[in-house]
Chain A
Amino acid sequence: MPDPATLSAGCLLASLVLYALFGGADFGGGVWDLLARNPGAADRRRLIASAIGPVWETNHIWLIVGIVILFTAFPGAFAVICTALFVPLTVVLAGIVLRGAAFAFHAYHLHESPKAGRWGIVFATASLVTPVFLGIVFGAISSGRIRATEPLAFRGSVTVWLSPFPISVGFLVLVSFAFLAAVYLILETNEPELREKFRRDSLRSAAVLVFLSGLTMALAAVDAREFFRSFMGRSWSIPLLAAEVAAAAGAIASLALRRYPLARACAAAQASLLLIGWGLAQYPYLVRPDITVFSAAASRGTLRFLLGTLAVGAVLLFPAIFLLLRVFKWEAISGTPRTP
């Protein structure tokens, strides 16, 4: 049984994976909304809005869970991250506010009005910007540039995140979210044209994703050396990378063969493996190179309580999420979408 600090970090990573798979795809939907061009743009936008509508707020909460685990279990790390990454986090917040509010206004009220387009643009632009800065935060805490001089405090520059590796992680996250969304959206409709459109989008974004993955790795080798060494040099590195490549190849192949449920499973696996690999390479650090899950951990009592709360909460939560998906996503999940 791992120690409570490691378990808490595992829960944090798990909530981030769930956020990427669900909430991330909602952001990706916004990206495709932004990129939708005629002919058929209105249909695609409507499909995206109806796919996101009932679930986006639930999906968003995985981020809150993550942040709460971070500041409860590792309060000092939270303080350092918030100070060093004040700027990108503020942009993320602005993006979350604009995206959520614009979507709600758009979806609940304005679809019948000619002004709906304006909210749509806010929603879509915020969906584009937010994942980039979210990715920058992840890149920055693994880059090794954020130094905590005195115990658990940051006194460096607030532009510490402006460097090639964090920025490339930002774009990697954006494209990962867009790829997930495109693959999911294929199964939200049985309209052949829409399906083909999202299939093409999936394949294109997969190509960009492969390119950006390579670029990010290359930049890590020079700009985040310790992280890169840890990512490549552990006993799990080769199997994980192999699984990652297999998942990506599987996704592309099944998209080519129009085996959409399989493509979706592979795409989700690929995104999860990417994040899990990041988490494993980062461990035991929370913020490289000065803060580990142990140096920042709250008291054992707090960690035990937190883990207990998460366990009990999960028992109540997952049936409720299952019900939500059962009601709104069953056709999409089983691969037999209804005509919209």
Chain B
Amino acid sequence: MTELDLARAQMAMLFAFHILFAVAGMGMPVLMVIAERAHLRTGHPVYLELARRWAKGTAVLFAVGAVSGTVLSFELGLLWPRFMSFAGGVIGLPFALEGFAFFTEAIFLGIYLYGWDRVSPRLHLASGVLVAIGGVLSGIFVVTANAWMNSPAGFTLVDGRPVDVSPLAAMLNPASATETIHMTLAAFAASGFAVAGIHAFLLLRNRENFFHRKALEIALAVGCAAAVLLPFSGDMNARFIARNQPVKLAALEGQFETERGAPLRIGGIPDVASRTTRYAIEVPKGLSLLAYHDPDARVQGLAAFPRDEWPAPVPVHLAFQTMVAGGMAMTLLSVAAAWLFWKKREGIFSRRFLIAVALCGPVGLLCVEAGWGVTEMGRQPWVIRGVMRTAEAVTPVGSLLLPFAFFSLLYLGLGAASVWLLRREVAASPFFPGGGGDVADPPDPEGIE
């Protein structure tokens, strides 16, 4: 591996780790606020217990997200000093805004976690809402910076340096809207499904546990609401990429030759040597239809671009296929959940459906990783598309294997510890006699031990 590969591997590892916690930092506060609101409305203690436990989970996930995010803000400069030297003055603004969003999150999470007995219930709930808003805004601001790397704007390039800089135009670059919407929805879908999956798994052991039932309802509601919208935001992204980053689209789809009425390939492995994608199921004219909403539209293939400007077609295509397949699974499950719930509320607690939800639990997070891989690997060989190559940005400091190995081990330990702690918290399965209070739809009394 070259030093460049090591730098890329380290950055990828740091992002892959951080993004899981960042996604939880966007989604979890919404779940805990919904539970607390339900408690204030119904007075039922089960919701208070849920809010408290989800808050504890949020606290651990937020703490790890905060420190791993700090690492990233430094590593941008440690691993890619030339990138930051160029980009800092152009795209620093969203990071400054993110700082304030992050402050909001941290301040009100402190009040939320430690203030149960110190502030009024209303201020407490409002703090939770501000944590959720701060979380979503943090995510949005950071993603605009990534959008800028895909679609640089807000400056003029003169002698390799940015002049006439407009930070606002850089932040509101053409890719920002589609990327931020898709990422925000993905964060809610992934965290909603991950939490729902955990509670579905525990319900499979004891289907009448009232605590897990209520948890599943809230988490599924959030996850499904987001997941049904993902195909639309995905479509917006694909059409944007078709227009702005055609070489990325070609790599995503394994499209080597330029053609009219290009087929949509499901699965398959791109073979760079023979410039074909093998073993794919081809839907005639599907790609032209999806990317341009016109079955006969012309789609540029990889061959239309210089070879040294191609992203690596194999990992990009596979990551893209993984993301789409997982996203479709979540969308279908969401539609099924809505239908079951509408027919008979008890339907979502049927054994078969619980198994499906439990299996779908990790899918959202997997899709987030795959989707991040698509946007990052699909932009290669550029770090700022068309402006700076990744190879030009890398640090001259050598021996990058050391920090890579070190942070990998550190994060492995951290990840294992987080999972272990969260497991302890959830597996406790607090017992609540069903019904009581104003909660509608108590479980069957004979089901309670």
Residues of A within 8 A of B (CB): 53-55, 57-58, 60-61, 63-65, 67-69, 71-76, 78-83, 86, 89-90, 92-94, 96-101, 103-105, 108-110, 152-155, 158, 298-299, 301-302, 305-306, 309-310, 313, 316-317, 320-321, 323-324, 327-328
Contact = CB atoms under 8 A, between A and B. Distances in A.
B103 A305 contact: no
A94 B108 contact: no
Contacts of B56: 108-109
Given A105-B421, A158-B397, A302-B165, A64 B70 contact: yes
A297 B107 CA distance: 31
Given A64-B99, A301-B164, A313-B97, 14 more contacts: A64-B73, A71-B77, A72-B89, A82-B395, A90-B406, A108-B56, A109-B425, A154-B396, A301-B167, A313-B99, A320-B107, A321-B107, A327-B118, A328-B111
A72 B93 contact: yes
A306 B110 contact: no
A104 B64 contact: yes
A78 B395 CA distance: 12
19 contacts: A71-B92, A75-B87, A80-B81, A82-B84, A94-B406, A97-B71, A100-B63, A101-B64, A105-B417, A109-B421, A301-B166, A302-B93, A309-B96, A309-B97, A313-B100, A317-B103, A320-B107, A327-B118, A328-B111
Contacts of A99: 67
Interface of B: 56, 59-60, 62-64, 66-71, 73-78, 81-82, 84-90, 92-93, 95-100, 102-104, 106-111, 113-115, 118-119, 162-168, 395-397, 403, 406-407, 410, 414, 417-418, 421, 424-425
B95 A96 contact: no
A57 B421 CA distance: 19
Contacts of B88: 71-72, 74-75, 78-79, 298
B439 to A, nearest CB: 28
Report, nearest first, the 4 A-B pairs whose CB atoms are least far apart: A72-B92, A298-B89, A75-B88, A104-B63
Given A79-B84, A109-B424, A324-B110, A72 B59 contact: no
Given A54-B110, A79-B85, A96-B67, A108 B60 contact: yes
B81 A97 contact: no
A86 B110 contact: no
Contacts of B165: 298-299, 301-302
A74 B168 CA distance: 18
Nearest to A81: B77
B399 to A, nearest CB: 9
